[in-house]
Amino acid sequence: MRPRGSSDERDDVDRLFARLQSVAPPADLKANILRALPTGVPAQPPMQAAPTGQTGAAANAIPWRWIALGAGVVLACMSLRLGSLLDDSGAFSVLSQIFSDFGSFMAAPGDYLTPLASELPWFDIIIALAALVTFWVSSSASVDQAQGSRSRQR
Amino acid sequence: MADQSDQQLMVRIQQGDRRAIEYVIDRYQRALYNFAYRFLNDGDAAADIVQHTFIQLFTHIQDLRADEGLKPWLFRVARHRCLDEIRRQRTTAFSQLATDDDEGGSPLDYYADPTPLPDDLAEREDLQQILAEAIASLPAKYREVVALRYTADLSFAEIGAVLGIPEATAKTQFHRAKPLLRAFLRARGITQSV
């Protein structure tokens, strides 16, 4: 087996080991390998030879990265909408009263919380919270997926 | 199919084309076997490692990136199995198992010999055995680089990809191994008098 490079780059050790003969594997090695292979196709759907580098694992697993991106966009939109709704509804003014006169709030919290609860856009708040949770879960899963793919190369 | 690229064969393997994996076996089994054989100096262990490597290929083909070379992946898997085998055997013939680049060098460097060997080397009957023993005498860190270079004919870039080290580090380790090989061969009688 000749090492790479021109003959001028080869030194005495390279020239000597160029004489090292290749050893033939056992005659039945290939047959043993084929016999030991699991039957059927590999578990995952076919990997496309995509030049973009999309891996077979990434193509077949849940696309956590895209879910995180979508959840982030929804979260950003809902944040803007919530801010606008809270301002228009007067909930911000109730909240500012609570923080400016916390003693009164503690003395009679119902007087503040009842109007606040009626003013809050609960549906939008639920959507925003759902988007937040989805973003957090999917971004964590995306990181775990990327780390798991690298570790499986061992 | 024999003239198809590795990537084309990888796609076919995942589609369940067993003929494609036969072609991959034909293409790489000898080089893998020689690498494992020279690394472990054990034919039976080398055959087991080659078998395991190709089974890993078939069962984990989906984990290979489209831009990742099949050849470095195969040798990487084989190399890990070789290291596992060494640890299992708990041999004391090797000075270290660490894969980190040891800037401090090995104690064997003290016995390194930079004097070139003779070019007009007469053919010796035991030359093959001596060359194999020379590789086997190296610390594991150098032995894997030398085995990949001399038995599998990998470039330094490919060796770096297999070992997970920069190409320059692979070259450094290879060149550090050469004086050790030279000293071993000289000690075995590969001298001017031969």
Q: Is B50 on the interface with A (CB under 8 A)?
A: yes
Closest CA–CA distance from residue A133 to any residue of chain B (Å)? 29
Residue B193 pLDDT? 34
Residue A54 pLDDT? 45
Mean pLDDT of B69-96: 81
pLDDT per position as a tens digit, A65-85:
889 999 999 999 999 998 888
Mean pLDDT of B158-163: 93
Q: Between 1.10.10.10, 1.25.40.10, 3.40.50.1820, 3.40.190.10, what CATH number should domain B107-187 receive? A: 1.10.10.10
Confidence of residue A40 (pLDDT cuts 50, 70, 90): low
Greatest CA separation for chain B: 59
All residues of chain B having their beta carbon less than 8 Å from the beta carbon of residue A1 are 34, 150-153
Contacts for B107-116: CB closer than 8 Å, 24+ residues apart: B108/B139, B108/B180, B109/B176, B109/B179, B109/B180, B111/B180, B111/B183, B112/B179, B112/B180, B112/B182, B112/B183, B113/B179, B113/B182, B113/B183, B113/B186, B114/B179, B114/B182, B115/B182, B115/B186, B116/A11, B116/A12, B116/B182
Residue B25 pLDDT? 94
Would you list the domain boundaries of chain B?
A: 6-89, 107-187
Whether the predicted pLDDT of A51 surpasses 50: no
In CATH, the architecture of B6-89 is Orthogonal Bundle (1.10)
Whether the predicted pLDDT of A117 surpasses 70: yes
Find which of B25, B65, B74 to mutate to test the A interface (most A CBs within 10 Å of its CB).
B65
Distance CA B186, CA A120 (A): 87
Of all residues in chain B, the one with the smallest CA distance to A37 is: B55
pLDDT per position as a tens digit, A6-38:
444 788 889 889 989 999 999 999 999 999 887
Contact B54 A37 (CB under 8 A): yes
Find which of A1, A9, A28, A33 to mutate to test the B interface (most B CBs within 10 Å of its CB).
A33
pTM of the model: 0.59
Q: Among B23-32, B65-74, B111-120, which range has the highest average pLDDT?
A: B23-32
Confidence of residue A140 (pLDDT cuts 50, 70, 90): confident
Mean pLDDT of B65-86: 87
Closest among B162, B76, B174 to A10, alpha carbons compared: B174
DSSP per residue over A20-48, as a string? Answer: PPPPPPPTTHHHHHHHHSPSSS-SSPPPP
Residue B99 pLDDT? 44
ipTM confidence:
0.76
Confidence of residue B102 (pLDDT cuts 50, 70, 90): very low
Whether the predicted pLDDT of A46 surpasses 50: no
Contact B63 A46 (CB under 8 A): no
Residue B177 pLDDT? 94
Distance CA B122, CA A117 (A): 97
All residues of chain B having their beta carbon less than 8 Å from the beta carbon of residue A150 are none
Which of residues B89 and B177 earns the better pLDDT score? B177
Q: Is B74 on the interface with A (CB under 8 A)?
A: no
Distance CA B118, CA A132 (A): 73
Which of residues A111 and B42 earns the better pLDDT score? B42
> Which residue's entry shows tokens 């578990």?
A43
Q: Is B159 on the interface with A (CB under 8 A)?
A: no
Which of residues A91 and B42 earns the better pLDDT score? B42
Residue percentage of chain B with pLDDT more than 70:
77
- What stretch of H or E contains A136? helix A122-151
Q: Is B80 on the interface with A (CB under 8 A)?
A: yes
Average pLDDT of the residues of chain B = 82
Residue B143 pLDDT? 93
Closest among B86, B105, B118, B140 to B185, alpha carbons compared: B118
